[in-house]
Structure 1
Amino acid sequence: MTSTQTLDLPKHQVDNQVQKLYQQGNDRAFRGEHERAIAAYTQAIALAPNFVLAYCARGNSWLELRDYRQAQADYQLALKLSPAFAIADGGLARVYYQLGEYQAALVACSRAIQHDPENLEFFHSRALINKKIGDDAGILGDCKFILERQPNDISARWLNSRAHFQMGNYQLAIFNFNQYLNLRSDDFYAHYYRGICYERLGNLEQAAIDLDCAIALADNMAILYRRRGRIRQQLGDYTNAMADYDRAIEIEPQMAQAYANRADIYINRGDYPRALIQCNQAIRFDPQLVSAHYQRGVINTEVGNLHAALADYHRLVQIDPQDINAYIQRSWIYFRHGEYPAVMSDCERVRALDRNSVPGNYLLGVVQSLSGFKQEAIFSFTKVIEIKPSFICALYHRGLLHHDLKNEAKATDDFHLAQATQAQIIDCLAKRDETGLYAEGLALYHMGHPDTAKVILHQAALVAQKLKNTVFYRQIFFTIEALGME
């Protein structure tokens, strides 16, 4: 029977035929026969051009066949016929989602919710869209609505857990991962993320247990071994940590971060040649890997290869011009090369990014003092002391500047405060660099303790020599010679 012959039938018979074709389409779609379903829906639409449900159903089948533009056309036709038809907006949201047009998807989905505010499927769709655009607060709002009505909705529970995790709400994330694992205990990702939550809360033992569970469920995932290795390393179990990093690399030979983690352990052991090999491997696989450049910079600094270290810090600044630590590390190398203008430039950059940076203000003060900018140096050291009153090196340096400017009262106050603070610090000497030792030695000399001053100044010279700080070493040597302490 042709569509023309059908239209000659009484209306109720036409309606019956339309319903029959529509149901036929639904049955075929249910069986996954979407091309045949589309044919049935198309016949129904030919008989009833205003049949909104048929347009939506055909749109659903086009969606399943990944013909997103055809699906979009059908949903838009349905909305033209019935602007408040929530199902059409919901379908349109799914089309935009698949096309990566997430803002358009969000608008369509929110419109669907507006017209049908009790449809949980729409809230779930919007949560997925919000996940794509990074709106974790939006995810939490949608999941809250779903979970209040269906506490065992596993998908909403997972999205809720991940959103809390992304927002740093680790206790709430753990609670939700617990609920999720009650519903699906075999999901290794849930154990993995819960383990990270425990790690970030400082509960390393529980974090290790979760990673053990994750690996028992999926023993071929490199990321799980790398993460467990990191936790074991923090627990001081370097042997098993290294075994985990080795296994991660065995599974995924180009996992750059695992090589950087192995470098950590070698650095901890003082095995710089092997650490350097690991850093080079990490950077070969990921030239943008910040941690590996830092490690290599630290290694080269320790072994006295400052030019190579400087190259890594140059690279770090290129990767991220806002990286404060890279500027600080680079400024210390410039200092040890005697390039004081470059030090000032980097320290000023650090202060522009973080005016309360202790290392940035401190090293700037040191270089300003050595360059004759005494008032500017006093300002920099005062800033350090305001931020960190226990920073004795800054106190000694500021006291020396006051002494040079003939303000003996202020100089004495700074020297005495530095000594009083120092008396409360255990192993203070071991934690100080050449600049702090130099300032302390000179302060002790001015306070009338030449013998102790001589010991400290010689210690400063040895540290400067070890760090290949030639320019500052000469400064210390000349001071020692001028004071008759050769």
Structure 2
Amino acid sequence: MDYLEKGIQYMQDQEYEEAAKQFTQAIEEKPEEPLGYINFGNLLMHMNDLERAARFFEKAIELDESAATAYYGLGNVYYEQGEYAKAMAPFQQAIQYGLEESDAYYMLGLTLLYQEQFKPAMPYLLRATELTPEDEEKMFQYGLCLAQLDMIDEAITTFHRVLELNESHSDAHYNLGVSALFKEEAHLALDHFNKALTIQPDHILASHAKAKVEEALSGHNEE
């Protein structure tokens, strides 16, 4: 087992100090090899030392401008700092240089989603769900994106897929309720808001929406 393998093992065991020693050894042994810097950057990300992590990823890119995982790491640094516009380019470069992984597409999609660029976000979130169809959170975010684009029927189908993966996903029920209101199906909406509140009694949005629907139905019945 070489220094990198040992370091990764220590990192997985949350023995960060030992991991740092191994990655330092790897860098000293092969200073022109980007993997040592990438792994040290990942370690610093785990330790929430974002500024130093960025420097390690940048050094890896300096050594190999096609180091896809270094771009991905740098994108994550900017994302964690809330710099979504800045995070886009590294995520795009990670994909461009061959990182055909669900997380790369998902993170690029999220950076666009959080900038309310829903239409550009959609294909990336879709690709993320295609690569990992069992990931409920990626499926959910894709559903939110569809809803923002007023693709209500597609959003409903997607939120139902989320519930197939996790029947206790309160936010999926809440968003199905909102979607039902768009289709003027008040009783169905109420059913989903009730389910959301059964799963998560402190779901404020569902509670507020339920009260509004009940008020509207009550007024309608009085007429």
TM-score using structure 1 length = 0.44
CA contact (8 A) 1:78 1:88 kept: yes
Q: Could you say which residue in structure 2 is the equivalent of 1:115? A: 97
Per-residue CA deviations over 1:412-434 (Å, capped at 9, x if unaligned) read xxxxxxxxxxxxxxxxxxxxxxx
Q: Could you say which residue in structure 2 is the equivalent of 1:52? A: 34
RMSD of aligned Cα (Å) = 1.9
Q: How does 1:168-187 map to 2 (within 5 A)?
A: 168-187=150-169
Q: Could you say which residue in structure 1 is the equivalent of 2:23? A: 41
Q: Distance in 2 between matches of 1:75 and 1:125?
A: 17
CA gap of 1:237–1:39, structure 2 versus 1, over 3 A, is farther
Q: Distance in 2 between matches of 1:117 and 1:52?
A: 16
User: What is the DSSP-based 3-state SS (H/G/I as helix, E as strand, rest coil) of the residue aligned with 1:235?
Assistant: helix
Q: Could you say which residue in structure 1 is the equivalent of 2:193? A: 211
Q: Distance in 1 between matches of 2:126 and 2:3?
A: 40
CA gap of 1:149–1:95, structure 2 versus 1, over 3 A, is closer
Q: In structure 2, what residue type is equivalent to 1:21? A: Y
Per-residue CA deviations over 1:311-338 (Å, capped at 9, x if unaligned) read xxxxxxxxxxxxxxxxxxxxxxxxxxxx
CA gap of 1:128–1:35, structure 2 versus 1, over 3 A, is farther
CA contact (8 A) 1:127 1:159 kept: no
User: Unaligned regions of 5+ residues in structure 1, if any?
Assistant: 1-18, 239-267, 269-486
CA contact (8 A) 1:110 1:126 kept: yes
CA contact (8 A) 1:157 1:176 kept: yes
Larger Rg: 1
- What is the aligned-residue identity percentage? 22
Q: Number of paired residues?
A: 222
CA gap of 1:35–1:137, structure 2 versus 1, over 3 A, is farther
User: Unaligned regions of 5+ residues in structure 2, if any?
Assistant: none
* 2:128 counterpart of 1:146: yes
* 2:205 counterpart of 1:227: no
Q: Could you say which residue in structure 2 is the equivalent of 1:376? A: none
Per-residue CA deviations over 1:182-223 (Å, capped at 9, x if unaligned) read 101101111011101101210001000001101111112333
Per-residue CA deviations over 1:5-42 (Å, capped at 9, x if unaligned) read xxxxxxxxxxxxxx622121111111122232112101
TM-score using structure 2 length = 0.93
Q: Could you say which residue in structure 2 is the equivalent of 1:76? A: 58
CA contact (8 A) 1:38 1:61 kept: yes
Bigger RCO of structures 1 and 2 (CA < 8 A, at least 6 apart) = 2
Give how far 1:168 is off.
2.1
Give how far 1:112 is off.
0.7
CA contact (8 A) 1:35 1:61 kept: no
Which piece of structure 1 moves more, 59-68 or 219-228?
Answer: 219-228
Give how far 1:116 is off.
0.8
